[in-house]
Amino acid sequence: MLIAVTREVSRSIVNCELTHLERVPIDLENARRQHHAYEAALRSLGVEVHSLPEEPDLPDAVFVEDTAVVLDECAVITRPGADSRRPETGSIARLLGTYRTLFTIQAPGIVDGGDVLTVGKDIWVGLTARSNRAAVDQMQDFLRPYGYTVHGVPVTGCLHLKSAVTQAAENTLLINPNWVRREDFPGMQFIEVDPSEPYAANVLLVGGTPVYQPAFPKTRARLEAAGLDPVLVDASELAKAEAALTCCSLIFKG
């Protein structure tokens, strides 16, 4: 069984961290409606959803992906790159500790889960303003006994690695080649986003099913042309907080 950890959208989300986007109004009720639809889509795919209550004083807490990296054998609790987000990890660690052995990134390491892409035994970590080489080295030390190889990769033009590349199928990545280099992912096949949709590289793979946003129809056509049949979930309100579909859950085997 797959388990998804999610968290209700905070009433303070209007104060979220922003790096590459201008601040615009966020409709809290619409954001919550979309988030509930996201959780419903996960349930429809057979996922057991553990929805945590909001953190009223932590604007970005809905983006639980950034707090941990959960693998079959263990979980790594992150040390988010934004100081304001570090209090988010405590409740997630308490929950994940009931499922996994935990490791924790320590200073000077910083890493957001949105910078971490895992395919098989390869883990790629985006080297961004939110994640650094010290965290990569710590993760490699934690995970080497389990057979994982951790690669630090440069990212330009976007907040997180998973803004630029995500897993769309077993050995296939959806990628914006202007923000991350194909050659950093040897052995993988690629679907490139449509150039007119630079933010379209974020797809959430649930089991074997891709979950995708309707906001990117040209890239969705490329996914369909590759034989994929995405489930569509609108996350346009949370996108104003520089977020995407992978940001809103931690999905792992129960």
Distance CA 166, CA 135 (A): 20
Closest by Cα among 69, 96, 114 to 247: 114
CB 167 within 8 A of CB 173: yes
Residue pointed to by tokens 């979309």: 34
Q: Is 160 annotated in the active site?
A: yes
Is 246 strand, coil or helix? helix
Using CA of residue 103, residue 55, residue 51, residue 28, what is the dihedral sign?
A: negative
Question: CA 116, CA 121: separation in Å to the nearest integer?
Answer: 13
Looking at the chain, how many residues does it have?
A: 254
Residue tagged active-site, from 16, 35, 160, 248: 160
Query: Which residue's structure tokens are 């489930």?
Result: 231
Rounded to whole angstroms, the Cα distance separating 95 from 90 reads 9
φ and ψ at residue 172, rounded to 5 degrees: -125, 130
Among 117, 147, 113, 142, residue whose Cα is nearest residue 130: 113
Q: Select which of 16, 74, 158, 247 is catalytic.
A: 247
Catalytic annotation, residues: 160, 247
